[in-house]
Structure 1
Amino acid sequence: MVSPDHRKAEPALETTFGERFVLRDTAADTDGELLRIDTYLDPGVRRPLHSHPKQNERFVVHEGTLGVALEDSEVLLEPGDEKSVSAGTPHTFWNAGDDKVHMTTEHRPALRFEEFLQAMVELDREDGLDSDGMPANPLVGAVLLDEFHNEMRPADIPVSIQRILFPALATVGRKVGYGVPNYSKTDERQEQV
C-alpha cells in the first residue's frame, strides 16, 4: 500500500461536523472491487451503530486513537493497528482521543458507497443533517436508506421493520419531492488535498 503522505492530490468531501473523506481508489478505478478512502475524524466525532449488508469494511489507523465497537466488544486502535468488519455486522467507530484521527477505510466490494457519502455530504451542505450527522428529515433519511440499502443499514431498528418501513416512507418522501441529494464534483466548496 502506498504511504498516505505520497499519494496524488484528490478531491476531499467534508462535513460540518468534523469528517473529511479523500477518495483514493474508487469503484471506477477498481472495477467495483474496492473503495479506499483516507478518512479524518475530529475529536468527538462518533458514527451511529450501523452495518453494511453486502460489504466488508477494514479500518487502518495512521494517526490518533480510533474506537471501534462491534457485536459485544470494543477496541481502541492506535497508529499501525487495523480492524476488519464482516458484511452485515453491526458496528460503530469514533475518535477516542483528543487529536484528529487519520485512517484508511476500505469497502469491499465498492458497490455505491461513494455515492452514499457524496449524498450525505451534499445533504450536510443543504443543512439537512442533525447534530449527529444523520438526516434531520425522516422522509429524506428513508429515501437515502431505500436507495442505498445494499451499502448502509441502521443497526438499532430491526431488519424486518426496515424492510417494510423504509420503502413505505421512501415512497411518501419521493411523492412529496424528496430524492437523493445531487452531489456536484465541480462544486467550488470542494477542496483539493
Structure 2
Amino acid sequence: MKITYPHTIENCIGEKLTFLEVLHEAEGDRLIVENFVAPGSGPPMHVHWLQDECLTVVNGRIGYQIQGEPEQFAGEGETVLFRRGIPHRFWNAGAETLHCKGWINPAHSVVFYLTAIYAAQNKSGKAQPETFDAAYLLTRYSDEFDMMGIPRFVRQVIIPMTYQIGRLLGKYKHFEGAPEPVHSPSKAEVMH
C-alpha cells in the first residue's frame, strides 16, 4: 500500500488526523502528525507497543490518562508524551475543537493501521469499528497495538475467533497489500 504525504484521515466520531511527513532518523522513521478532535472525542484506552507518541496542544484543552493513574489536562503550548508500552487515552476536554501537532516514532505500520481503524469506524457509523475489520487489525498487528478497553477474554479469545471466521468468509480482500506486521521482541520487555 503506497501512501503519499500529507495523508488525512477522518472518522465519524469527530477525529481528523493528518500524517504530514516522515523524517528518516537513525532510531527509525519519525512521523509528523497534526490532529483535530471534536469536544468529548478521542481514542479510548490503547497501547502502542513499539512507538512513542508526542502531542503539543496548539488550540484547546487535552485530557489524558495513563492506565491506573488519575486524569490529567494540558492547554495551549503544553506537550504530552506517551511512551511505548504504556496504555493511555486522550480526549478533547474543552468546548472547542482540540488542535495538536506532534510525532510518532518509529512509524512502522501506524499510518496503515490508523487509516484502517478510521475506515472501519466509518463503516460501522460509530466509535466501535466494524467487527471483522477490527478483528483483522487487532489480530494481525497485536505485537504493535492493543485496545485495553476491550475485556481480556474478548481480546484473547473472541477477537482471534472472529478473525478466523472472517478469513473463512473472505472478509479481508480489501486488506490485500497490507504491510507486514512488526514483531516486538516481547511486550513484557517493552513495558519495562
TM range (shorter): 0.7 to 0.9
* Alignment partners' CA distance in 2, 1:121 and 1:181: 14
2:65 — aligned with what?
A: 69
Map 1:1-193 onto structure 2 (within 5 A): 10-26=6-22, 29-30=23-24, 32-71=28-67, 72-125=69-122, 127-130=123-126, 133-137=127-131, 139-157=132-150, 162-163=155-156, 165-179=158-172, 181=174
CA shift for structure 1 position 158: 6.4
Q: Is the Cα contact below 8 Å between 2:15 and 2:42 reproduced in 1?
A: no
Name the aligned partner's letter for residue 129 of structure 2. P
Aligned residues: 169
Q: Is the Cα contact below 8 Å between 1:143 and 1:178 reproduced in 2?
A: no
Q: Structure 1 unaligned segments of length 5 or more: list them.
A: 1-8, 184-193
- Alignment TM-score, normalising by the size of structure 2: 0.76
* Alignment partners' CA distance in 2, 1:161 and 1:18: 26
Q: Is the Cα contact below 8 Å between 1:144 and 1:180 reproduced in 2?
A: no
| Secondary structure, counterpart of 2:13 in structure 1 | coil
2:185 — aligned with what?
A: none
| Secondary structure, counterpart of 1:79 in structure 2 | coil
* Alignment partners' CA distance in 2, 1:36 and 1:173: 34
Q: CA RMSD in A?
A: 2.5
Q: Measured at CA, do residues 180 and 148 of structure 1 come closer, stay the same or move farther in structure 2, by a change above 3 Å?
A: farther
CA shift for structure 1 position 174: 1.6
Query: Deviations for 1:23-67, whole angstroms, at most 9, x for unmatched residues?
Result: 1123xx526521221011011213211111111111111110000
Name the aligned partner's letter for residue 61 of structure 1. V
Q: Measured at CA, do residues 67 and 154 of structure 1 come closer, stay the same or move farther in structure 2, by a change above 3 Å?
A: same
